[in-house]
Amino acid sequence: MESVFQQNDNRTELSDVGEFALIEKLTAELQVINKSTIKAVGDDAAVIQNGDMQTLVSVDLLVEGVHFDLMYTPLKHLGYKAAVVNFSDIAAMNGKPMQIVIGLAVSNRFSLEALEELYSGIRLACEQYGVDLVGGDTTSSMSGLFISVTVIGQALPQDICYRHGAAENDLLCVSGDLGAAYMGLMLLEREKAVYKADPSMQPDLDGNDYVLSRQLKPEARFDVLEELKKAGVKPSSMIDISDGLASEIIHLCKASNLGCRIYETKIPIDPATIRLAEEFRLVPSIPALNGGEDYELLFTISPSDFEKIRNIESVSVIGHMTTNRGETVMITIDDRLIPLKAQGWDGLRNNNKQD
Amino acid sequence: MESVFQQNDNRTELSDVGEFALIEKLTAELQVINKSTIKAVGDDAAVIQNGDMQTLVSVDLLVEGVHFDLMYTPLKHLGYKAAVVNFSDIAAMNGKPMQIVIGLAVSNRFSLEALEELYSGIRLACEQYGVDLVGGDTTSSMSGLFISVTVIGQALPQDICYRHGAAENDLLCVSGDLGAAYMGLMLLEREKAVYKADPSMQPDLDGNDYVLSRQLKPEARFDVLEELKKAGVKPSSMIDISDGLASEIIHLCKASNLGCRIYETKIPIDPATIRLAEEFRLVPSIPALNGGEDYELLFTISPSDFEKIRNIESVSVIGHMTTNRGETVMITIDDRLIPLKAQGWDGLRNNNKQD
């Protein structure tokens, strides 16, 4: 038994480490014991051998005050989103989500009715995506709401897309459009500030349904996977865009040991996102590159597959992979070459509050 | 899009519902979609078909201030315990834990070194039990430490023990001894109070290594499963004792649609636990029945298997199942018949603090 009532002397602040470096540090010494463990830490989901199929497992935590603000997030939407962002991790592996388990820590501030709202959103997401809620743990917290969602998916081994599969000259593609979820968040934060200053003010959200739904009710892009399959294309590598395009591109390049070039003019951005970005005096590519929470897919395909995907409306080619490892760059609208930086959601840096 | 900036009018306090009733309410309407979902909510783990094997999945949350107090819980022990209590859920299904994923929400109060300590405990548990840590999510919290552990296990379908399998006259058995973990907690709480009153006082933990190790470093009883297997006995039903014997007996009886009688004199309690209980002026069976966190196994066997288990030292027969559904009773030392009550860990009631 080690001694109790004592503290560690060394101290490195988490804010000096950053989320990705932290995970690397904590999992550096891990060695795989079981033969069934095909892929441990380092992709959108872990991969486990199970007979002829492979099982995919991924977990996401959503923390009140860090990932969501209940002032403008209806609990039903929160439940839906908590489930869907996990389904998206399975989509990023080209798998099918099958089951989820939910861990919930709630303070006494929450009523039974509030949790029923949250669960109704989780259930709705499960129905829409054909997933079973199979278990959970509900406990109290000293303050705030914590949601942990673990998703179990499956895929045939040959169908799984890892982050590390990209090859030189592969085309870099994204689904849908980017930056809308972040502009939705900006809008909600602005109206919250107005409301706090004067509670008689009604929030002005008119005409912004698209960006709001992207923030409050994201979807996982299994429809895009279906279209790729129909077209006979299997991505050589894939990741979902949860932390912003720039951050995910860097993950993909690092895992595949390649560099890339993307073109600012090719990044798909919805007119509603552009309009709102301009209202907030932001270059529209900024929320797309660094905003996060779009839950679109970023993937690479062989150049020989280009003809097969060029008519898929929901897929845009934004650049290509290069052998120039470490060079992940964007050609801007005015033809400058700038390095991409991972400035996405870094919860450990964003939160400067001490408790 | 539903409207934002609004609140639900009805309000039922969670403290009026209780943890088990809450889970029942939240999961009442669930319908299984996927054929591979064999058992959803309602046992120690969910069961998923995967080829010839079945996959077991369970999640547990550990919340600072509710499940642990960092004043007397070394972070390495906390990591070890967080992993082991999940392995114990798989033991309770008679399965083998294979992989875990960890969700961690930490405030800036924690340093990199602190998280490395926590992870070293998780890694140690994984090594000891032959489990791979395959993934995780690390994020910030506004205050405190939240740990979510999801474990993936496996078993042959015919080996799995559910809660609902007990039959009339089956013998009710427990592994090891009970109540020690709770007395360890009482001791740590007492010394904490002394230390807070006068920080120059050194904690007096001498001679209590056993109860302290039961609280701070519990183990999952795969050794007992191994002995049962060697003896050729498969439990007809099983559950692990995380919330206290009384609460788990009620779960088992309810799931099996039976009643039971247990004998106070038969409950295995270590002499160190008895001594400390008497020091705290508690009847020793109270921590055993209601203390929780022992992570021993509670299971039933056919009376015809009694001869096979009678020489297994780590197994005690404490009573038997009856057809008297709803009657879960104990015959006390002084021959009274008293109903068992689930007074275990109910985080949602224990925590009266509002945030």
User: Average pLDDT of A231-245?
Assistant: 95
The verdict on a CB contact (< 8 Å) between A139 and B14 is: no
Residue A6 domain flag? no
Residue A16 domain flag? no
Residue B2 domain flag? no
Residue A13 domain flag? no
CATH code of B124's domain: 3.30.1330.10
Query: Which of A1, A33, A209 has the CB atom closest to B1's CB atom?
Result: A209
Q: Are residue B191 and residue B254 in the same domain, yes or no?
A: yes
User: Average pLDDT of A131-160?
Assistant: 90
Q: Give the model's pLDDT for residue B332.
A: 94
Q: Are residue B181 and residue B140 in the same domain, yes or no?
A: no
The verdict on a CB contact (< 8 Å) between B137 and A105 is: no
Mutation target vs B (from A2, A3, A4; most B CBs, 10 A cutoff): A4
Mean pLDDT per 10-residue section of chain B, whose length is 355 residues? 50 76 74 78 78 87 91 93 95 93 90 90 94 87 91 91 94 97 94 86 82 95 97 96 94 94 97 95 94 95 96 96 93 94 55 37
Give the pLDDT band of residue A345 (cuts 50, 70, 90). very low
Among B131, B156, B181, identify where a domain stops: B156
Residue A242 domain flag? yes
A201-205, A278-282, B129-133: the lowest-pLDDT one: A201-205
Q: Are residue B172 and residue B134 in the same domain, yes or no?
A: no
Decide if pLDDT at A241 tops 80.
Answer: yes
Q: Give the model's pLDDT for residue A5.
A: 46
pTM of the model: 0.89
Q: Are residue A174 and residue A236 in the same domain, yes or no?
A: yes
Mutation target vs A (from B150, B154, B194; most A CBs, 10 A cutoff): B150
Take residue B44 and report the two structure tokens written for it: 């120690």
Residue B339 domain flag? yes
Residue B135 domain flag? yes
Q: Are residue B139 and residue B205 in the same domain, yes or no?
A: no
Q: Are residue A111 and residue A182 in the same domain, yes or no?
A: no
Q: Are residue B300 and residue B207 in the same domain, yes or no?
A: yes
3-state secondary structure chain B: CCCCCCCCCCCCEHHHCCHHHHHHHHCCCCCCCCCCEEECCCCCCEEEEECCEEEEEEEEEEEECCCECCCCCCHHHHHHHHHHHHHHHHHCCCCEEEEEEEEEEECCCCEHHHHHHHHHHHHHHHHHHCCEEEEEEEEECCCCCEEEEEEEEEECHHHCCCHHHCCCCCEEEEECCCCHHHHHHHHHHHHHHHHHHCCCCCCCCCCCHHHHHHHHCCCCCHHHHHHHHHCCCCCCEEEEECCCHHHHHHHHHHHHCCEEEEEHHHCCCCHHHHHHHHHCCCCCHHHHHHCCCCCEEEEEECHHHHHHHCCCCCEEEEEEEECCCCCEEEECCCCCEEECCCCCCCHHHHCCCCC
Q: Are residue B220 and residue B295 in the same domain, yes or no?
A: yes
Q: How many domains does chain B have?
A: 2
Q: Are residue B205 and residue B301 in the same domain, yes or no?
A: yes
The verdict on a CB contact (< 8 Å) between A37 and B65 is: no
Size of interface A-B (CB pairs under 8 A): 376
Query: Which of A103, A205, A216 has the CB atom closest to B148's CB atom?
Result: A103
Q: Are residue A125 and residue A256 in the same domain, yes or no?
A: no
Give the pLDDT band of residue A9 (cuts 50, 70, 90). low
Give the pLDDT band of residue A15 (cuts 50, 70, 90). confident
Q: Are residue A66 and residue A38 in the same domain, yes or no?
A: yes
CATH code of A338's domain: 3.90.650.10
Q: Are residue B125 and residue B203 in the same domain, yes or no?
A: no
ipTM, two decimals, is 0.86
Among B121, B156, B191, identify where a domain stops: B156
Among A159, A184, A208, identify where a domain stops: A159
Paired sense of beta strands B132-140 and B96-106, if any? parallel
Contacts of B98 in chain A (CB under 8 A): 34, 36-37, 48
Q: Report the C-alpha gap between A329 and A289 in whole angstroms.
A: 12
Q: Which domain holds residue A255?
A: 163-350
Residue B1 domain flag? no
Decide if pLDDT at A313 tops 90.
Answer: yes
